[in-house]
Amino acid sequence: MDAFVQALFLGAGYNAALVGIGAALLGFAAGASGTFLFLRKRALVSDAVAHATLPGVGLAFIIMVALGLDGRSLVGLLAGSAVTAGIGLILVEWMSRKTRLSEDAAIGAVLSVFFGIGIVLLTIIQTMSQGRQAGLEGFLLGSTAGMLFQDAVVIAIGGTLAVAATFLLRRPMTLVAFDPEYAAASGYDVRKIDLAMMGLVMAVTVIGLKLVGLILIVAMLIIPAVTARFWTEKSDTVVWSAGILGAASGYVGAAISASAPALPTGPIIVLVSASLFTFSLFFAPARGVAAAVIRRQRFQARVHLRQGLLALARQEPIHDKLTLKVLGRDGLIRPDGVATDAGRAMAAKVARDERRWDVAREVHHDVSLTGRYDGLTPIEDVFTPDEIAQFDKVIGKPTAVEGT
């Protein structure tokens, strides 16, 4: 625990501190840019991009060695990965536009084939004399253990640049993500902004390769966005909360990882993020499962109550068990199914409201008002008391019926 607290306050060594800051920056950029992807319903395009980095890493290594350079130069490897990731992205777009295949098939094809080619290249590199210590496998799952100081600097700088780019592009991207048609109408070039969005995702992927690896970087792009969505409907808020969730996951994850051995950075960051997601899934007040279940049950009870009262008013028999239960629970019917006084009074109110609606729909032809005649909306929510009094005038005074 001490080690964790120490790491949390950047006291676990210079490298670890840089990694922590880099992870937080990267998490922010990934969370925010991933939100745009998620809202465009293209979350898994990032999976294709991420897997498509692998052949680039391999090729960059081979080329650098052939040129007599150090094959392990992180900048060189990342540059290579960006090239093949870009090609993968273009292929996904091309296949889903030019052929009859859908985007998900294109994504799956690109990610598996590029990854396969990457693995072939890795096996070639393993047979090269310089290849044995290349450590390129680290790009699969990320590895911060034994990371060089300049690598940590690269991640920190890259993370900063990605955050800056997200900040600069936030307006047009939010607009396009939430309402592409409106964006196009207001003179934005949706295609270019989409491209910029994908470019940013690609940049985040490439920067994150060393830290979390190409399989898990997808999680940093998707999970914070999905989590944020549970808490808010507002576009700006989603973007920034996803960024903050991503940053928090990155920072805390890196700190946990630095606090003990055998806690790989990438998986820990993802698991921190996943626990935030799980919590939100169940307990978020607006869209969480617990809230939804309660709302649904209340709603169903309201429907059955209303239907039951209508049936009472029309003196129709009620067969539905749930309706009987709801009416009984509220003391509106006796166990033998006969309406109590309270039940008859409420049924009368319901019946009167129905007749008021009849009148209202003759008087008002405004859909925004009469369109709310859905059985559940109380008439008092739609019309003012004096309007309702007017309807009552039309209906006339209740007349006593013989025999009651």
Partner 1 sequence: MGAEFVQFSLTPILIGILASIACALPGNFLVLRKQALIGDAISHVVLPGIVVAFLVTGSVAAIPMLLGAAGAAIVAVILIEAIKRLGKIEPGAAMGVAFTSLFAGGVLLLEQSDTSNVHLDVEHALMGNLESLIWFKADGWASLWDPVALAALPDELLRIAVVCLLVIVLTVIFWRPLKISTFDESFAQSLGLPVGAIGFGLVVTAAVAAVAAFDAVGSIIVIAMFICPPAAARLMTNRLEAQVAWSILFATLSAILGYVFAGYGPLWFGAQNAVSAAGMIAAVSGVILALACLFGPYRSRVGVGREEVA
Partner 2 sequence: MNPETLLTLAADEGRVISDIAVGDAPLAVRGMTVSYGEKPAVFSVDATFEAGMMTAIIGPNGAGKSTLLKAALGVIPRLSGEVSVYGAPLAAARDRIAYVPQRASVDWDFPTTVIDVVLMGLYRQTGLLSRLTGTHKAKARECLGRVGMADFAERQIGQLSGGQQQRVFLARALAQDADLYLLDEPFAGVDAATERAIIDVLQALKSEGKAVVCVHHDLATVSTYFDNVFLINVRRIAEGPVAQTFTPENLHATYGGRLATSHIDQLDLAAGA
Residues making contact with partner 1 (CB under 8 A)? 38, 41-44, 46-47, 95, 98-102, 104-105, 107-109, 111-120, 122-124, 127, 137, 140-141, 215-216, 218-219, 221-223, 225-226, 229-230, 262-264, 266-268, 270-271, 273-274, 277, 281, 287, 289, 292
| Of the candidates 274, 331, 329, the residue with the CA atom closest to the CA atom of residue 300 | 329
CB 52 within 8 A of CB 88: yes
Q: Is 52 helix (H, G, I), strand (E, B) or coil?
A: coil
* Tokens of residue 84, six digits: 């093949």
Interactions with partner 2, residue window 57-86 (CB under 8 A): none
Using CB under 8 A, pick the residue from 340, 373, 387, 390 that binds partner 2: 373
306 touching partner 2, by CB under 8 A:
yes
Distance in Å, CB of 157 to partner 1, minimum: 26
Burial 184-223 (b: 16+ CB within 10 A, else e): eeeebeeeebbebbbbbbbbbbbbbbbbbbbbbbbbbbbb
CA–CA separation, 9 vs 220, rounded Å?
22
Burial 47-63 (b: 16+ CB within 10 A, else e): bbbbbbbbbbbbbbbbe
Query: Which string of x and - marks every residue 333-372 that binds partner 2 (by CB under 8 A)?
Result: --------x--xx-xxx-xx-xx--x--xx-xxxx--xx-
| Of the candidates 123, 18, 21, 147, the residue with the CA atom closest to the CA atom of residue 72 | 147
Query: Which string of x and - marks every residue 258-297 that binds partner 2 (by CB under 8 A)?
Result: -------------------------------------x--
304 touching partner 2, by CB under 8 A:
yes
381 touching partner 2, by CB under 8 A:
no
375 touching partner 2, by CB under 8 A:
yes
| Of the candidates 2, 7, 31, the residue with the CA atom closest to the CA atom of residue 257 | 7
When the beta carbons of 7 and 327 are compared against partner 1, the nearer one is 7
Report CA 27 to chain centroid distance, whole Å. 15
| Residue 119 site contact among partner 2, partner 1, none (CB < 5 to 8 Å, cut-off depends on kind) | partner 1
**Residues near partner 2 (CB under 8 A):** 100, 295, 299-300, 303-304, 306-307, 310-316, 319-320, 322-323, 341, 344-345, 347-349, 351-352, 354-355, 358, 361-362, 364-367, 370-371, 373-376, 398-401, 404
